[in-house]
Structure 1
């Protein structure tokens, strides 16, 4: 699962990317900086990644803290995936948000 989550986070392909209002409303260069920080994130610790799934992290830009998380749904985006490690039955969604929107 970590490899699939990393692929989505690093490339923004292989799933959907959702920006909350607080990120979408940033000035274009600030939004790009936050998204680049998410792509480059590699500070996985037991505190933010206790199961080794690489599905959550925090980055900072311009004095603000931002969170990102990856959720695994079934292919219809209705329920949780029956097997998040199987891309044939899983649709991934990466959400990027300001920390105060969490």
Structure 2
């Protein structure tokens, strides 16, 4: 009999990927610099982020798929997923539990960090 063990990290990664790839399970916000690129570039950025799979130790040391970088029309755009409590005041008490977590993915230009 095969036993499947799903770790907290696996669950967090799955929930982060859900927001990143399907744009569900949280909120996506953009910085002024990203918005200034225009609606078509923002849409292209969201598509590129959904397809992004270049996660490694240099940008994803906890293997949670919470940060990455894409290039759209020659412009680098970073994305960062963070897990907050439902009041959006503090970090989530359990990022693996959507019942107590609200995810926010921020799209920003590196100079806006």
- The answer to whether the superposition gives a TM-score over 0.5 is yes
Candidates 22, 34, 46, aligned match of 1:35: 46
Bigger radius of gyration, 1 or 2?
Answer: 2
With the length of structure 2 as denominator, give the TM-score of the two structures. 0.86
Q: CA–CA distance in 2 between the matches of 1:36 and 1:68? A: 12
Q: Give ranges in structure 1 of 5+ residues lacking alignment.
A: none
With the length of structure 1 as denominator, give the TM-score of the two structures. 0.95
Q: Give ranges in structure 2 of 5+ residues lacking alignment.
A: 1-11
Q: Does 1:56 align with 2:75?
A: no
How many residues align structurally? 102
- Structure with a larger share of its residues in helix: 2
Once the two structures are TM-superposed, the CA of residue 60 in structure 1 deviates from its matched residue by: 0.5
